[in-house]
Structure formats: structure tokens, C-alpha cells
Structure 1
Amino acid sequence: MNRYTKPAIYLSLLLMFGGVARAQEVTFTPPFDFPITFSGNFGEIRANHFHGGLDFKTGGTIGKPVRALADGYISRIRVTHGSGYVLDVAYNNGYNTINRHLSAFVGDVARRVEDLQYEKETWEIEITPEPGEYPVRAGQIIALSGNTGYSFGPHLHLDVFEADTDDYIDPLPFFKKKVKDTTAPRAESIMLFPQPGKGVVDRTQKRQSFPLNPKQPITAWGVIGAGIRAYDYMDGVHNRYGVHTVILEVDSVEVFRSVVDRFSENENRMINSWTYGQYMKSFIEPGNTLRMLHASNDNRGLIDINEERPYRFVYTLKDALGNTSRVRFTVHGKRTTIAPVEHREKYTFRWNKVNYLQEPGLSLVIPRGILYDDAYLNYAVRADSGDIAFTYQLNDTRIPLHGRCELRIGLRRKPLEDMSKYYVASVNSRGKKYGIGGKYEDGFMKTTIRELGTYTVAIDTVPPEITPLNPKQWGSTGRIVFKAKDEETGISSYRGTIDGEYALFGKPNSISGNLVYEIDPKRVERGKHVVEITVTDGCGNRTTEQFTFVW
């Protein structure tokens, strides 16, 4: 064992077995009084993060009563664009939960939220009650399920935290007696990762994917890593889920194991190091300290193919209920010349150092601990005539960072005096620009980035567009709905009024992005009214529209 494995294994075993023991001692009432099924499980691979909890199905409808899991109290109340209506509960048994994507709060909580929204004139709010201000009992209705925030359909997202550590933990053990599942995980394909300058697969240093039963023998030489794309399934539903445990053995010796049972908020972005797309790597990059990953050899789970013979790989896949499957494949050692990495030292970033990049019109500082592995940048600069700034390709494919670092891009010219209209843009492979903010300072636009990609500076002077949706039906449905759109820097704020008085417009579902006001008969009388909506983008461009309706 080395520094990557031994402390991590002991700590993880302590946490894992301690957590299992506590989970076995604690009982939770299910959040619903109907049979439990899931649309998502703990630890699924998501963009830049792990799925932090369980997604409970609600029969395709909203408004299902959500119940307290045990005795405790409501610890936080929020309305956000990301998670919609959110309720945090602290339980007396040492666990805390977050209920996300709710459609409504109930009782005094609902009244307090609405009062604060009108007081602050904003849909997004946060309340931290005093401990015990809103006590709950096991089975008590605390909210109604919904489809709010960044949600693709009606469901309840439930996060469970261990109060002592504040770790996200897998909630499934608390409900396993209520869940029927005899279906094992299934693999779809494998991927091999020759290490730069140290290994080759089928005579190339490029990563390659293979079917489970390749038609041609796989050959390799030198140091390589393996990965697998696999999903779990459950009885009676068509959803696919993340795999709880992945074990890799080579020639009957375990070299790597991942156990997706807990993670901290600080570890969340480490999913970018552990995964490549939907592939789970069976090795650990040197800057990745994710505790759920365990290398059993002295090489971070990497395999040294140094003999001309067959190497027998076996993957064991398990779900949280113990259902198990296996995948076997062979890699044939074939002696091959391994070319060193061609790189310019100036554009080589080391994972365990502070890295600086100074170029004409560009300044970048990457603190130590932000990179997961050494990065050999494919750096390039484009200078199109008339551009406000050069376009800087830090790398041709994005390299995710564990935290933010400062990027400064100099301006070649300033066609506008109003510097609030300038922004730093991330440029994708098709040339489309996405605003990431930034402020002007001494000839530079300064911002922070979380990945090494392509960046430039652009100007946004175009105000957002506002489109009324089905305005003839507003009176009959009691819902006023607008579509607000901005192509460059996005919608940063909105405000609506009816007859000059503030109206509680919100963005209940961030997938649709519609701005919605549910007409409140306590605040709006029957008759003809004028609704005014103002929308502002990230560069301060503003659009205001007025419409009349009869209710």
C-alpha cells in the first residue's frame, strides 16, 4: 500500500462500517404512504457532481403528501431556481435530510414563506428557523411533492446527511425492507486508458472503448488504466441507476474497488476525475482524494502490462441490495515501443504545484490542489480581425478543475465606453459563446473559471426577449405565464407587477424557464388589469413589457 490507499482504506472502513451500524439501528418512516419506487439512486453520475440522494417516483403527479421520516424539527426553508421548494429537516436520531423539488409547503411554513416573498419582493428566499420552532413527528405531513426547480418530471429528491460528519450518505439502507429488487447491474462496455508516455493500447496512446465481447484481441504494453460503463436496474421499472460497488481484479488479484456510499460536499466535483463521460475509472488520479475509491496495489489501481502473456480482467458489479454480476475480458501483453509525451514545458501544468500562464493579453493562475493530474495543454490563440480580445484555447478538450482559478483576458479595443456590457465568454467546439461573467479592471476582463477550455471577451447590448404564453387564457386559468430568453449572458433577474403592485412571479421549473404568476384572489380583484414584467440579463440590458388581461 502507498499514501493513496492505506489511510483512505482505514478511514473509509471506519466510516463505512460505523455508518452501516448506525443505519441498521435507525428506522425511518417512508416519505410516502404508497409503494416505493425510484427514478434515481444515490451517487449516479451527473455533470460535475454526484446525485446526492434518492429520487422517489410520485406516479407522474404533483401534490403527494410528503411525510417526516422520524421525530425532529424543520431546520431550513428555501425557494430556489435550482431545487424549487426545499425543506431541510434535522432528526433526533443523528441524521438530517433535504427534501427538494416540492410543489408547496404546508401550514405556518407556507404562510411564512409567502409573507417573506412579498416583503422582499423576490421569489427566491431562505429562512433558518430556530431549533424546535417547527417540530415534526414521524409520519407527519411536512410538504407536498412537486416538479419545481431543475426537475425533468414529478418526483421527490431526498438527501440524507450524517449529522456528525455532514457527509451525504446513501438513504437506501433505511428503506431496503420496503424495496423489492432482484435485478443485478449490467455492464455495457469497457474503456482502457494508456497513461501518457507510459503505455499503449492497440499501438496507440489514445483512450479506447471496447464492447464486452470484442471481435479482435485487445493488446497493450506498459501502464494502463481500466474503466467500465455499467448501470443498475430494479424490478418492475425501466429506469437505470448508478452502480453501488465496482471491483476490478487482474489475474485473480484485486487492484481497485469503488463503493458509492458517502461523499462530502468538497468531494463532489471529484466525479470529474473518477469518470470519463459515463465510464467509471478503476484507477485514481494523483490529485483525487475521493474516499469512495480504493486502490489495492501500489500504483493507484493502474496496471503494468510488462509480460507478453494474457492478463485476465474481471469486473464485479454490485448494487446496494447485494445483487451481483461479473464481466470478464482479456488484455494480451504485446511488446511495443512507447513514445514519450511531446509537450512544451511552458504549457505543462503539474497537479502538485502552483501553475502560472502568462501570455500577451492573458494571465492565468492555478493554485495547488486544483488539478487532478498533470495536464499537457494544447494551447493556441486565434486573432480574428475586429475582435475585442484574442480567443485563447487553453486546451482543445475541457479539463475540469477542483476549484475556481483566476483568469484575466486583455482587451484589444473598446468599442463601447460602458464596461458593464463586456463579459468573458466560454467558447464551445462549435464556436458558440456562453457568458461566464467577469469585471473590467485595468485593461483586462477578470473572472474565475472551473475548467481549462477556450475563452474570449464579448459584448452584450441586446436586451432579453419577453413572450406572453397563451394570454387569452390567463383569466380563465388564473395563471399568467411569460417566456423570457437571452442568447448571450442569460436572465439574471425579473420583476412583475399588476396595476403597479408587486406580483409574485417565479420560475417554478427551470427546465422550461417560464416565469409564472398564480393569480391570488386575496391580492387581485376581479376585473381588467395591467401586468408589467421587467427582465434583466447578465450585462444589465433590460426589457419591460405591459399587457392587459381580464380576470
Structure 2
Amino acid sequence: MYICPTNYLSTYMKHTILSLILLAWGAQAYPQTTENVPSDATFTPPFDFPITFSGNFGEIRANHFHGGLDFKTGGTIGKPVHALAEGYISRIRVTHGSGYVLDVAYNNGYKTINRHLSAFVGDVARRVEDLQYEKESWEVEITPEPGEYPVKAGQVIALSGNTGYSFGPHLHLDMFEADTDDYIDPLPFFKKKVKDNTAPRAEGIMLFPQPGRGVVDGNQKHQAFPLTPKQPITAWGLVGSAIRAYDYMDGVSNRYGVHTVILEVDSVEVFRSVVDRFSEYENRMINSWTYGQYMKSFIEPGNTLRMLHAPNGNRGLVDINEERPYHFVYTLKDALGNTSKVRFTIHGKRAEIKPVEHREKYIFHWNKVNILQEPGLNLVIPRGMLYDDAYLNYAVRADSGDIAFTYQLNDTRIPLHGRCELTIGLRRRPLEDMTKYYVASVSNRGKKYSIGGKYEDGFMKTMIRELGTYTVAIDTVPPQITPLNPKQWGSAGRITFKAKDGETGISSYRGTIDGKYALFGKPNSISGNLVCELDPKHVKKGGRHVVEMTVTDGCGNQTTERFEFVW
């Protein structure tokens, strides 16, 4: 039997309860309303060629809304990116996530972030390169003074690219309202430059009978239906609806998020979503509003996302309490006003609704602090982290050779609004070096993914953002380094490596040429290749050279490889 260190647990709980009070207060203090004030600000487009998009504002992404517009660049990089108005460059970054990034603050009350650039220009480019060599790091950040880099409308400020987590050449443009720091949809400022007469189209609906309060076709689980069901849909009690739909634009094959969704039942509006703005705090609430690619037309009680509205006073849920047809009508609109409608009927049919039977210990309430203590496990979920009550399908698995038990908090992953502390006790310590241990998230197929963690007093402690399955694992295997096309390094003027790690991932890398720091970067994080563009300012041209690459994984395992090349 696992024995928990008593002193550690009591101290842990005292500190935890205090932090929970502060977190709960913060969640309640956040503003819950939005106001869309018309603006007379004007912007010129970022490009001097016709505008088309590969992505729009608010599209459904994993754990977040798409924060801006993705401008197409004709499948190429290096297109001049123009300032939208008069202002100044406020931040300059090179990151693995967004590549080359340029923030601009405009004098008209708005700010933008330009992501996935291929290069900066002028003094900014030189300053960034100098800092990269000074810090010996590809990732750098500069916050200039407001007057250092002024810009005017139409001025070239960067070149478009495909850097960071980017699946193809484009410009991602985020726009913010300076007074609130809200993400806002930039499209209204460019309406006159966009040709679009294509309305959104729906692909399916989903119905969510509420636990212990509703049934659909005699079942209390959520169910997907085609737009024209072959059999009549029956329901009884409280039911939530959802729709999968996409917007489209003239002349391109891309699909986009839907700006406005309105649900009416028997000609009365019960729900409306308007994807026009959100804050960073609200970003993860997309996990509450959506189920996969379905947009819910009801609001979970812990979801304060301001773009959702339920005028029926019942969070958008429909009470089917009469044996008659209920007529559902969806209205779908894009940001340019193109509109379509979807109609379907639910037939009220009296049916038994069984109450939810569940042990109270494994019910997490959305409006309370939730604490789960099991042998070898401590989990604290502060108030404000759950969007609805969670009925956990808790289970523990053990194997005689395991370092720790495998804890199934729930059989399907339940997203949390923020990071919550999880500690897992060790059953055995086959290695004395505790830096080699990590907390792993376990998939339904048994694959382990590192989420980090540190050892402390017999436990591995980490932060989690979803209720899933977790255990502890060990990583002692160093990363692999593979040179890509080494015979062409000299002729191409470019050195490229592929670095892989099968468990905890690549955490850092450092390259040298002839013993001196070489500026290797990860220009595109999808490929993950480490690339160094040879520069005669830093590498003497005309001879044989030695390049050395060291790669370190999340548990400190290192690999160093040396190669010769002629340039």
C-alpha cells in the first residue's frame, strides 16, 4: 500500500487553500460584459496586392481562438509587409512559436502583431542579429522606446514568411484595442478590399441532453445528427443544441469560422454567438463553447465568454416539456453579412429521465474548490477552473514494475481553464538522478507525452490543464541528431540538422563552427529542422570547417555530434 508523507501533505494543503482563495477572487473580479464601440480609425492593407485569406478571426483551434487574419501571400515568402497607419514598432521578437514577430502600436488606438515573418528590415534586422550573437540564442526579444522606430501608413516594416508554427507562407495579423487589450476582428477595416458573396454552410448538428435532466432518442449521451435526419428526433427535458458550420469566400477553397450564429426555437431567439472580440483570459473558454468542431448554442455555467448570449434566461438550453414538435432554426452570418439558414425539428416525447448516480467524492463542482486525495495522488482544482460539473470516471492502474500508479482522472479529457497542481507519489526509484523523472500524460492508446514536473519529498509535482490520465516515467535516452544533405552544405551556404527525441522533447540546442558560436535556429517549427545560414562575417569562406551541434532534451540528456564541411 502507498503511504503518503504526512508532513508534506499538511503543509501542501495549507499553501494550496490560500492560493485558491486568491485565484477564485481573481476569476470573479474579471469583467463579464463587452461593448463594441464603432471606430472611425482607418487602415491601409498590409499588402499592395488583392486580399485573400487562408484563415479568419475566431476560427476554432486547439485550446484557443484563432486570434487574427491569415493573409495569403501567393504561396511564396518575402512579400513586403506594410504598416497600416501612423505609429511605432513596440516589440520585436524571434520565437519558435511565431517565428519572426513584429508588434506595432498605432496612434489611432489599435495595436497589431505581425507573425510568421521571414525577415525584419533595416536597423531592426541588424539590431536583432547583433543581439542573437550577443545572447548566443536564436530566440530574442527587444522592446524599443516609442520614438525609436516610427512608422507611417504604407511603409515596409518586414517581409512575409513561413516561420514558427506555420503550415505555409502567409502573414498572420492580430489586432488589439489598445484601451482593453482585447483581440478584435481586423476584417471590418478591410471590407472594401474583400470580395465575398458566399454564405456560411452547415454540415451537422449535435444535441446535448443535460445530465439527469434530459434525454434525446431515449439516450442521455450527446449525439450527432445529419442536417436532414432519416428518422424523427425525439427528446424530453433540458437539451442543448450545437452546430458544425463553416464560412467560405469567393474564389478560394479555404473554409473559415462563422462570425454570427443565432438559434431560434418556435420563432423565439434562445442563443446568439458573435465572434468579434475576446480577451487572453477568455481564450481557453473555447473548450467550453465548442465540442470538436461543433459550436454549442448554450452556455455552460462556468463559461463567461462575452461573445455568447442566451436571451431565453436558461443559458440557451431548451426545455422540451410538451409532446409536440419544436421547430429549431439556425441563422448563420459571416462578417460581411452573407446569411444562410438551417431548420430541423425535435419532437417532444415523454420519456424517463434517470438521475445521475455518482459518488460525491468524484463529482467536481464548477463553482467550488475541488480537492482529490488518493493514495499517491493530490489534485487541487481552484474555483473558476471548471466550466460545468464534472462526473469523473476515476480509476487506478498498477503494474509491479511501474514507478508510480497510473491515475485515470477521467476516461475522456476534460479541459480546465488554467493550470492546476497535480502531485503523484513514487512507488519505487530505480534511478537516483531525479532529473530523469517526468510526469506523463497517457493517451487512450497508452502513449506517454511529457508534461514536465519536478521531484519534491517523494512526489513528482506538475501543473495540468485537463483532467485525463497521468503517471510518472523516466527518460534516460539522449536525443538523435541527423545531418540533412551534408554534401550540399557548402554549395547551398546552409547547414541543416534534424533533431529528434522520443520522450521529453528537445528543450535546447547550441551549435558552433570552428569552436565559435553559430546562429542555428528553428525557422519552421513544423519541420523542426535546425538551420544555420553561413555568413562570411562569422565564418571564413574558402576552406574546411568543423560544425558541432549539442542538443538537450527535457530531462537533461545530451547528444553532441561533429561534422566537417567545405565552404
SS at match of 1:103: strand
CA apart distance, 1:494? 0.1
Deviation string, structure 1 residues 429-455 (Cα, Å, up to 9, x no partner): 110000000000000000000000000
Residues in 1 aligned to 2:272 and 2:266: alpha-carbon distance in whole angstroms: 15
Residues in 2 aligned to 1:378 and 1:487: alpha-carbon distance in whole angstroms: 30
Residues in 2 aligned to 1:10 and 1:365: alpha-carbon distance in whole angstroms: 25
Residues in 2 aligned to 1:112 and 1:280: alpha-carbon distance in whole angstroms: 45
CA apart distance, 1:132? 1.4
8 Å contact from structure 1 (residues 495, 535) kept in 2 = yes
In the alignment, which of 451, 465, 468 is matched to residue 453 of structure 1? 468
The equivalences for 1:20-419 within 5 A come to: 21-22=38-39, 25-419=40-434
Q: Provide closer, same or farther for how the CA distance between residues 10 and 533 of structure 1 changes in structure 2, counting only shifts above 3 A.
A: closer
Residues in 1 aligned to 2:412 and 2:357: alpha-carbon distance in whole angstroms: 17
Residues in 2 aligned to 1:361 and 1:37: alpha-carbon distance in whole angstroms: 54
Counterpart of 1:536 in structure 2 is 552
Q: Provide closer, same or farther for how the CA distance between residues 10 and 129 of structure 1 changes in structure 2, counting only shifts above 3 A.
A: closer
8 Å contact from structure 2 (residues 479, 501) kept in 1 = yes
Matched, 1:438 2:424: no
Unpaired runs of 5+ residues, structure 1, are 1-7
Amino acid across the alignment from 1:266: Y
Deviation string, structure 1 residues 213-255 (Cα, Å, up to 9, x no partner): 0110000000000000000000000000000000000000000
8 Å contact from structure 1 (residues 82, 149) kept in 2 = yes
SS at match of 2:299: coil
Residues in 2 aligned to 1:333 and 1:467: alpha-carbon distance in whole angstroms: 63
Residues in 2 aligned to 1:192 and 1:499: alpha-carbon distance in whole angstroms: 64
Deviation string, structure 1 residues 269-320 (Cα, Å, up to 9, x no partner): 0000000000000000000000000001111000000000000000000000
Deviation string, structure 1 residues 179-238 (Cα, Å, up to 9, x no partner): 000000000000000000000001001100100001100000000000000000000000
Residues in 2 aligned to 1:132 and 1:368: alpha-carbon distance in whole angstroms: 43
In the alignment, which of 496, 503, 514 is matched to residue 481 of structure 1? 496
Matched, 1:520 2:535: yes
Cα RMSD between the aligned structures?
1.0
SS at match of 2:255: coil
SS at match of 1:266: coil
Residues in 1 aligned to 2:381 and 2:480: alpha-carbon distance in whole angstroms: 38
Amino acid across the alignment from 2:361: K
8 Å contact from structure 2 (residues 496, 531) kept in 1 = yes
CA apart distance, 1:10? 9.7
Unpaired runs of 5+ residues, structure 2, are 1-29
Residues in 1 aligned to 2:362 and 2:43: alpha-carbon distance in whole angstroms: 53
Deviation string, structure 1 residues 75-134 (Cα, Å, up to 9, x no partner): 000000000000000000000000000000000000000000000000001000001110
Residues in 2 aligned to 1:197 and 1:515: alpha-carbon distance in whole angstroms: 54
Amino acid across the alignment from 1:509: N
Amino acid across the alignment from 1:285: E
Residues in 2 aligned to 1:529 and 1:479: alpha-carbon distance in whole angstroms: 13
Deviation string, structure 1 residues 312-356 (Cα, Å, up to 9, x no partner): 000000000000000000000000000111211100000000000
Amino acid across the alignment from 1:228: I
Amino acid across the alignment from 1:540: G
CA apart distance, 1:9? 12
Deviation string, structure 1 residues 126-146 (Cα, Å, up to 9, x no partner): 000001110001000000000
Residues in 2 aligned to 1:191 and 1:481: alpha-carbon distance in whole angstroms: 47
In the alignment, which of 512, 519, 532 is matched to residue 504 of structure 1? 519
In the alignment, which of 540, 547, 550 is matched to residue 563 of structure 2? 547
Amino acid across the alignment from 2:251: G
Residues in 2 aligned to 1:125 and 1:54: alpha-carbon distance in whole angstroms: 25
SS at match of 1:62: coil
TM-score after normalising by structure 1: 0.97
Deviation string, structure 1 residues 368-389 (Cα, Å, up to 9, x no partner): 0000000000000000120000
SS at match of 2:172: strand
8 Å contact from structure 1 (residues 223, 305) kept in 2 = yes
8 Å contact from structure 1 (residues 9, 294) kept in 2 = no
CA apart distance, 1:525? 1.4
Residues in 1 aligned to 2:419 and 2:41: alpha-carbon distance in whole angstroms: 39
Residues in 1 aligned to 2:290 and 2:493: alpha-carbon distance in whole angstroms: 46
- Identity rate of aligned residues, in percent? 87
SS at match of 2:256: coil
Amino acid across the alignment from 1:535: V
SS at match of 2:248: coil
Residues in 2 aligned to 1:104 and 1:68: alpha-carbon distance in whole angstroms: 15
CA apart distance, 1:11? 3.6
Residues in 1 aligned to 2:497 and 2:31: alpha-carbon distance in whole angstroms: 53
Residues in 2 aligned to 1:229 and 1:502: alpha-carbon distance in whole angstroms: 51
Amino acid across the alignment from 1:532: E
8 Å contact from structure 2 (residues 520, 530) kept in 1 = yes
Residues in 1 aligned to 2:221 and 2:493: alpha-carbon distance in whole angstroms: 58
Amino acid across the alignment from 1:207: H
Residues in 1 aligned to 2:114 and 2:291: alpha-carbon distance in whole angstroms: 30
Deviation string, structure 1 residues 33-69 (Cα, Å, up to 9, x no partner): 0000000000000000000000000000000000000
Residues in 2 aligned to 1:518 and 1:207: alpha-carbon distance in whole angstroms: 53
